Chain A
Amino acid sequence: MNKPIRTISMFCLLLFVALMLNATYLQFWKADSLDDDPRNRRVIEAAYSRERGAILVGRDPIAESVPSDDRFEFQRAYPVPFRYAPITGYFSYFSQTGLEQSQNEVLSGEDPRLFVTKLVDLLSNNPNKGGSVQLTIDADAQEAAYEGLDALPGAVEGSVVALDPSSGKILAMVSLPTYDPNKLASHDLDEVSDTYDRLLADESEPLLNRAIQTTLPPGSTFKLVTAAAAIESGAYTADDLVPGGATYQLPLTSGESGLIDNEGRDCGTDRIPFKQAMAQSCNTTFAALANEVGADAMIEQAEAFGFNSDYLEDLRPQARSVFPSEMDAAQTGQSGIGQFEVRATPLQMAMVAAAIANNGVVKRPYIVDEVQSAEYDVLEKTDDSDLSQAISAATASDLTALLVETVENGTASPAAIDGITVAGKTGTAQSGQDDVAPYAWFVSFAPAEDPQVAVAVMIESADIPRGEIAGGQLGGPIAKAVMEAIIND
């Protein structure tokens, strides 16, 4: 009977090998795709129970894990919830946004840069702690921006972004309305669901980070780009005369609908100084300039500043600012004053101001300054990098002169700071819909001779009578407060 016994032995061997191969398939080859399954609560619960790293502004955490005595070991807490929610995002049992999502690998400890820490934790049988993320945010600037925007009357929808022009560091990023991420990080999952449903249903979209996720017509603040294209074309310098006049009939049009005016500001006749045109935000001038340089040069200039591209890598998702690629002459004229289909995020407009402040070099904006281990050892420091040379240094200095004039003798005067030269530009963009109020914009940088900060303020809506909405009055003081917070630091 030994022959069949040997056959049976081979059969048994076959069965065991099949079991082992299958287990290996399941636990090795298929493990990653199983872990990635959104229904896999183990991965989420583990992340939820784990001591996640902190998100730091200066020395203070704006998101941290504190011990919890319920069924999860740690509770995610946001000490300054409303002011930083658009940046941190939230970390809930069901989903994550903001830095909690984009920096999840570091915060959860899975990032390869944390390998050594992870290994030490493993060998010493300690629970795996996540690494921390140090932000480029300046707490004072963030506070000034938030308080300033929040102080506007009514239910404010708007955003403020401040950049360090020479490095691209994001110094402040505020978006209103905001929300309390603590409520979404709660371990009371029913409450989390209710809060989330309520926030999602809210028409003012509090979960949106308007600084990077909303694009709106930039209006007159886009004249910086038009002026840059005009000066780069070689036809003008800051001291030259530019086309002026009370009205400008767009090419290819006739009558009221194609007629651009200056809403009563003094834009002279025929030829006026460039400084006056900028200071008075002359629509007629910039519509004409846009047509003089032509659609292609305008597209090229806008894209050099970052339009039509993605550049923010450490905080996602980012909405793409748009400059239309197919335009006729009339549309080019409208685009020159930031209307038609031009749309920009507040971050994009801050980058335009920052590039002018930084001798024409556009820096890649970033918000994560350092990745740290759980013990706060610096594992990686972000190096600043150039995105492009949008304009020459000479053009940048010409534009700066124009913008200084705009603050000193023009529409941007509310941003003036005693003893410091400020360069700035207002904007009031038509929403294009009759029932939606215009959007107020303000971009500026200071000090003009050695810029330390560039700011963009965008107010989508606030409880202000339609006729009184003007970028200068609403956005100017906020930009001023943010710039002061950085310069007086």
Chain B
Amino acid sequence: MSQPSALMGFVHRRRRGAELFLLTLALAVGIGAYAAVGIGVEGHVPVDILGYGGWLAALLVGAHVAVRLVAPYADPVLLPVVAALNGLGLAVIHRLDLAEDTTFARQQLTWMTLGVVLFVGALVIVRDHRVLARFTYTFGLSAILLLLLPMVPGVGKTINGAKIWIGVGPFSFQPGEVAKVLLVVAFAGYLVLHRDALALAGRRVLFVDLPRGRDLGPILAMWLVSLGILVFQRDLGSSLLFFGLFLVMLYVATERPGWLLVGGGLFLSGAFVAWRLFGHVQDRVDIWLHPFDYYNNPTPPYSDQIVETMFGMGWGGLIGRGFGEGDPTRITYAEADFIMGAIGEELGLTGVIAVLLLYGLIVERALRAALISRDGFGKLVAVGLAGVVTLQVFVVVGGVTRLIPLTGLTTPFLSYGGSSLVANWVIIALLLRISDQARRPIPDLSDQHGEAPDEMSTQVIKL
């Protein structure tokens, strides 16, 4: 929409004031929810509301100032939406803490602080996202190494049956969360270079344009990596996320829907074989189809989490029971993967839809940045990041609400989990950087060429 309009001299406004205003609303959500939790569960406003609110406000204002300084044209909606989600997540985790006498919220606030620091750091260091294209293979290799790390004896940790953790001293870390950001960048860098080969070269066999054998390599490699994650790490969610992400980016880069068919077919056949071969995959599917048959089972597989979530969400109804009035602790790991269950129970369908709309807004803003971005690499990274958020939300929320078989993934910004939160803040920083580049007025010299502005050769790369 804005490529032609940019040519006609349309200049995006910075809208930093709007961002600040929206941030105060987001802050009201976060602090208000925290106060509501105190009133609902303990009967009074939490005593540390000032310290907590102040800390939250300081983090957000810090992030805002950083954006104002180093990415003045960045999208004004993204940061407030993320702030609202993160604040709400903290409040819900705090509510579960009060019921179970844990301190997850405090740890989560620490992680959020680290997330914001890295967010600011990413914005400051990466002044132009195209620089990242140089590290295509470095990032790709690092991502694969990170994904392999949990399988290294001594480093990897198996938590709840999934081998996706590494232990660093007292901390546990999910390298997959970092890997997904690196993979998006690596895919984008690779695809933007090879998109022509992938799109045009090849032979036509029976109405289907088949790519050349050597161009098929990467997609096959990615397929194998995904299957490996599925089989060796027992992580259905990440497997689906990585492969789906790769497919989406491949499709956008080549503009050939055929890739979606090929990839979708590969994924379905892989998933089918996995279903036939592996008991844990079959269990997941059976529980999805007949959750009540596995409820309160004396032996695994159990469906208690999913059934309790359904009961809780039904119990919450349209407007929810209110903080402290529900019983979300019946859901095991309500603070992590199943946080949507806790939200559905205590904030109702209203809360769930609000959260989904916020996620929808993130994706919409990311795709908008992709549309107006002037370079292919930026487009691909933005689309990839939007895909990460969409797929992750769909897989985890769909799994929790029994739309699809349950697979373990964190709910971005809401769930307790440091690696995920930090990685997601970095994703937002990258999106802001891309939208800042896209919305920034075009330097004069591009006018002299008067050529299509999304050619890399006509762009000025600031270093």
Contacts and interface: CB of A to CB of B under 8 A. Distances in A.
B123 interface: no
Given A19-B356, A19-B393, A34-B314, A3 B255 contact: yes
Contacts of A2: 3, 371, 379
A309 interface: no
A433 to B, nearest CB: 44
A46 B312 CA distance: 12
Size band of the interface chain A makes with B: 35 or more
A31 B315 contact: yes
A27 B318 contact: yes
Interface string A9-42: 1001101101110111011101111110101111
B311 A5 contact: no
A34 B252 contact: no
Contacts of B318: 27-28
Contacts, number: 130
A153 interface: no
Given A12-B390, A16-B356, A28-B317, A1 B252 contact: yes
A10 to B, nearest CB: 10
Nearest to A40: B311
B348 interface: yes
Contact of A42 (B257, B327, B379, B380): B327
B385 to A, nearest CB: 12
Nearest to A32: B314
B311 A27 contact: no
Name which of A12, A42, A45, A46 has the most chain B CB atoms within 10 A of its CB: A12
A101 to B, nearest CB: 21
Interface stretch (B63-71, B86-94, B132-140, B395-403): B395-403
B392 to A, nearest CB: 11
A23 B330 contact: no
A5 B348 contact: no
A8 B315 contact: no
Interface string A119-130: 000000100000
Given A1-B380, A27-B352, A42-B330, A15 B390 contact: yes
Interface in B1-53: 3, 39
Contact of B379 (A5, A20, A37): A5
A18 B393 CA distance: 12
Contacts of A45: 327
A336 to B, nearest CB: 55
Contact of A34 (B251, B311, B327): B311
A42 B315 contact: yes
A314 to B, nearest CB: 28
B314 A27 contact: yes
B369 to A, nearest CB: 10
B398 A18 contact: yes
Given A1-B252, A1-B380, A42-B327, A24 B349 contact: yes
A232 B356 CA distance: 75
Given A19-B393, A19-B397, A34-B311, A27 B386 contact: no
B296 interface: yes
A129 to B, nearest CB: 14
Which one of A5, A27, A46 has the greatest number of beta carbons of chain B within 10 Å? A27
Interface residues of B, number: 52
A436 interface: no
Interface stretch (B104-112, B114-122, B146-154, B359-367): B359-367
B248 interface: yes
Given A20-B356, A31-B317, A8 B253 contact: no
Contacts of A379: none
A255 interface: no
B295 interface: yes
B313 A26 contact: yes
A235 interface: no
Given A19-B401, A27-B344, A41 B349 contact: no
B316 interface: yes
Interface in B301-319: 307, 310-318
A308 to B, nearest CB: 40
A4 B252 contact: yes
A34 to B, nearest CB: 3
A43 interface: yes
A115 to B, nearest CB: 15
B348 A27 contact: yes
A32 to B, nearest CB: 8
A169 B310 CA distance: 44
B241 interface: no
A5 B314 contact: no
B376 A1 contact: yes
Given A26-B313, A26-B402, A39 B251 contact: no
Given A16-B390, A20-B356, A42-B330, 20 more contacts: A1-B255, A1-B380, A5-B370, A8-B252, A8-B386, A16-B360, A19-B394, A19-B401, A27-B316, A27-B352, A30-B310, A30-B314, A31-B315, A31-B317, A33-B314, A35-B314, A35-B315, A39-B296, A39-B307, A42-B315
23 contacts: A1-B380, A2-B3, A2-B371, A2-B379, A5-B370, A7-B251, A8-B251, A8-B367, A8-B387, A19-B394, A20-B356, A23-B352, A23-B356, A24-B349, A26-B344, A27-B318, A27-B344, A27-B352, A34-B310, A39-B307, A40-B311, A42-B312, A45-B327
